[in-house]
Every structure is written in C-alpha cells, then in structure tokens.
C-alpha cells in the first residue's frame, strides 16, 4: 500500500509541528516504527487513526482524506508546498516548538481527547491550581505569623 501523497502530507504536518516521529507515536500510543510506516507509505492508518492525526496536528481531516483519495495536487509543488494546507500559522507552530518536551506531550495528548474530556481536564487543572494557590497563601500567612512571634 504505497500512498505517497498521504505519506508526504503526513510528514509535512509533523515537521510543521516540529515534532519527532517518536513524539507523535507516543501521543498516539503506538510504536515509532508503526508511525514511520505511515510516513513512508508502507501502510495507511485506519479512519479513526486519521481522525486522531488530524486532531493531533490541528489540521482538517479532509486534508488527509484528499491525499488518500489521490487528490490532484499541483505537480509543481514539492513537500514544502504542503505547508499552506495546514490550519496553523507559523507563529502558532513556533510557540508549541518552544515548549519543553513535557508540555508538548501534554498538549498532544490533550488534543486527542473528546470535547467533554477536555472540559474535565481543564476543570481538574483549575482545581489543582486553586489548591496550590490556597496552600501557598496559608504558608505565607504562617511565615508572617511566625515572624511576628
């Protein structure tokens, strides 16, 4: 199964996001070699995996489906020409690239969640931040009290 257009678009999306094959594979819960087969055209992901890839790279699902369906791209375009097909601006991609690896992985995993799961995660993070803030305020208050005695 050699779908070079899909493989080319997939690789370009990953490179635009400044991610390694290992990072993408990890976020998707697969071996790096499995993901590499997608990028080299050796195999093609399932429809569900294509949805996950689109979410992960923050691009339209149609981008991948058109490439799989042998969508006729301009023959003069090379791999660099596909950069215009992504939904992200350079500034958005650059911001993610500048994040520490731990935060990049968190963002990749977050993108793969269902909308209601995202709401739950955000709520949990806010609750943890509120608890940390309250704890810090209590510690600061205790320091002030102990300094007065």
Averaged pLDDT, 88-108: 64
Would you state the pLDDT for residue 61?
A: 85
Q: Reply yes or no on whether the pLDDT at 87 is more than 50.
A: no
Model pLDDT for residues 12-21, shown as the tens digit of each residue: 999 988 899 9
Would you state the pLDDT for residue 74?
A: 41
Torsional sign, CA 85, 91, 92, 96: positive
Model pLDDT for residues 42-80, shown as the tens digit of each residue: 988 888 899 899 999 988 888 888 887 754 444 343 444
Percent of the chain with pLDDT over 90: 23
Q: Reply yes or no on whether the pLDDT at 111 is more than 80.
A: yes
Query: For residue 126, how far is the Cα from the chain centroid?
Result: 21
Would you state the pLDDT for residue 89?
A: 42
Distances (CA, A) of 83 to 4, 66, 80, 149: 16, 15, 6, 64
């Amino acid at each position: 199964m050699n779908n070079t257009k899909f493989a080319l678009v997939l690789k370009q999306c990953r490179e635009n996001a400044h991610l390694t094959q290992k990072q993408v594979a990890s976020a998707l819960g697969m071996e790096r070699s499995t993901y590499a087969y997608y990028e080299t055209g050796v195999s093609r992901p399932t429809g569900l995996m294509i949805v996950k890839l689109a979410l992960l790279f923050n691009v339209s699902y149609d981008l991948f489906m058109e490439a799989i369906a042998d969508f006729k791209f301009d023959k003069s375009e090379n791999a660099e020409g596909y950069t215009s097909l992504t939904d992200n601006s350079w500034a958005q991609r650059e911001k993610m690239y500048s994040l520490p690896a731990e935060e990049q992985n968190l963002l990749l995993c977050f993108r793969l969640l269902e909308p209601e799961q995202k709401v739950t995660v955000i709520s949990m993070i806010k609750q943890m931040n509120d608890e940390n803030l309250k704890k810090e305020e209590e510690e600061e208050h205790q320091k002030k009290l102990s300094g007065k005695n």
